[in-house]
Amino acid sequence: MALVVQKYGGTSVGSTERIKHVADRIISSVEQGNQVVTVVSAMGKTTDELVSLVGEVTAQPSKREMDMLLSTGEQVSISLLTMALQERGYRAVSLTGWQAGIQTEQAHGNARITGIDVERINSYLEDGMIVIVAGFQGVSEGEEITTLGRGGSDTTAVALAAAVSAERCDIFTDVTGVYTTDPRYVSKARKLASISYDEMLEMANLGAGVLHPRAVEFAKNHKVKLMVASSMVEEEGTVIEEEVSMEKDLVVRGIAFESDVTKVTVSGLPNDLATLPSLFTILSEHGINVDIIIQNETGKETTTISFSISDDIRQETVAVLEENKHRLHFEAVDCEQNLAKVSIVGSGMVSNPGVAARMFQLLAKEDVKVKMVSTSEIKVSTVIEEAVMVKAVEALHEEFQLAEEVLSI
């Protein structure tokens, strides 16, 4: 008997008919002799609808009350799914995040899981029951309901899989696996049979929405074997694990991209050792997530620092900087909007020099101006104009031959 954790996203439980379909899939796994813990998201666009309701009440809701509201979406899903299983004659029980023992830090809206007390879940499993857990939520040490941020149900599932020592964690969604790039934008995108934790973590952090970055990080740290597959069709998905078979001549494994990027430039900063730590400490204290960073000395006395952020925190970022102008002593803040980030990812890049050069040469050939660059051992990221994002992705996908079927070695 294997213990399996499954996760179903909002699309997979978007209607009562789909909930019944998920119940059938769970039953199929149980009939194969498995113990099953299932994590579910809120139905369809429920979270968006709840956020819209908030907008009708206030423009500045407290983060605590947002967590109280948004956590109700998953409660609807888990109870309906549990009833669907019970209707079919199977013993099942639903648990909210706090009932499932999911403990988090005290950070409303984007909390991290600090531990899981699995005693209650294990007792139900030992009693032969199917356990349905609300994703995306937990409880802080101060007994406050918290949420894990968008896509947090992935993290819930992987953390539970690690805590109960599951054989694997299956992430069921509306796509059939992890693709070389987003097939909604690039028709020649190809599904990967497998991908390493490191490659998937880079892809997730760089905009590939198929998995939440924290979930991949948790899986890597706790050696949880993941599989991403479709909840709609019976088809082999993509396995995410430590070691994967290398595909012949495939240096780049995937291309990730995201729109709505803003470049913030802070000019006239003091050119001293305290400037960088002061600037980014202030931003960190306000929960502002910064991505690519570039510093340019503009003279002996001054320096300019640019960094990229998501456009939805642009106004907040500028406000924080202006509020702290007396501490940072800068001259001006400028924002360049309508940008995108396009990244190539692949573990083969470590041992193959010249990959970045190929990328830059291609972008230049396509008249795509690169505004910012960031690299690691297995990725190269560029910030470009949003208007040419898809064009750049398609060209890179072709350049690195990602559409072609290749042999594993």
Within 204-283, strands assigned E span 226-230, 238-241, 254-270
Beginning with the edge strand found earlier in the chain, give each strand of the sheet holding 194-196 in spatial order: 92-95, 130-134, 35-40, 3-8, 168-173, 226-230, 238-241, 194-196
Q: What is the pLDDT of residues 112-166, one digit of tens each?
A: 999 999 999 999 999 999 999 999 999 999 999 999 987 799 999 999 999 999 9
- Residue 409: the pLDDT is 33
Q: What is the pLDDT of residues 52-97, one digit of tens each?
A: 999 999 999 999 999 999 999 999 999 999 999 999 999 999 999 9
Helical pair 314-323 and 275-285, crossing angle rounded to 10 deg: 120
Over residues 180-193, the mean pLDDT reads 93
User: What confidence tier does 247 reach under pLDDT thresholds 50, 70, 90?
Assistant: low
Q: Which helix (H) or strand (E) holds 116?
A: strand 113-116
Q: What is the pLDDT of residues 313-337, one digit of tens each?
A: 999 999 999 999 999 999 999 999 9
Q: Distance from first CA to last CA of the chain, Å, rounded?
A: 32
Identify the CA nearest to 360 among candidates 388, 403, 399: 399
Cβ atoms within 10 A of the Cβ of 302, count?
A: 16
**SS3 of 72, please?**
helix
Over residues 166-188, the mean pLDDT reads 92
Mean of the per-residue pLDDT values of the chain: 93
Identify the CA nearest to 189 among candidates 404, 406, 408, 407: 404
Is residue 408 pLDDT above 80, yes or no? Answer: no
- Residue 245: the pLDDT is 58
In this prediction, what percent of the chain has a pLDDT beyond 70?
97
What's the Cα-to-Cα distance from 401 to each of 177, 208, 251, rounded to whole Å?
19, 19, 10
Structure tokens at 180: 């070389």
Is residue 300 pLDDT above 50, yes or no? Answer: yes
Enter the DSSP assignment of 172: E
In this prediction, what percent of the chain has a pLDDT beyond 90?
83
Identify the CA nearest to 25 among candidates 193, 172, 157: 172
Is residue 103 pLDDT above 80, yes or no? Answer: yes
Over residues 103-118, the mean pLDDT reads 94
- Which residue shows structure tokens 């609807």? 76
- Residue 371: the pLDDT is 96
- Which residue shows structure tokens 């406000």? 319
**SS3 of 357, please?**
helix
Pairing of strands 145-147, 168-173: unpaired
Distance between CA 162 and CA 169 in Å, rounded? Answer: 9
User: What confidence tier does 249 reach under pLDDT thresholds 50, 70, 90?
Assistant: low
Domains and CATH numbers, the chain: 3-174 (3.40.1160.10)
Task: Enumerate residues 6+ apart whose C-beta is below 8 A from 401.
Answer: 249, 250
Q: Residue 346: beta bridge partners?
A: none
Of 390 and 233, the structure prediction assigns the larger pLDDT to: 390
- Which residue shows structure tokens 């979930």? 215
Is residue 243 pLDDT above 80, yes or no? Answer: no
Q: What is the pLDDT of residues 14-44, one digit of tens each?
A: 999 999 999 999 999 999 999 999 999 999 9
- Residue 75: the pLDDT is 97
Distance between CA 359 and CA 115 in Å, rounded? Answer: 42
**SS3 of 368, please?**
coil
Distance between CA 323 and CA 180 in Å, rounded? Answer: 43
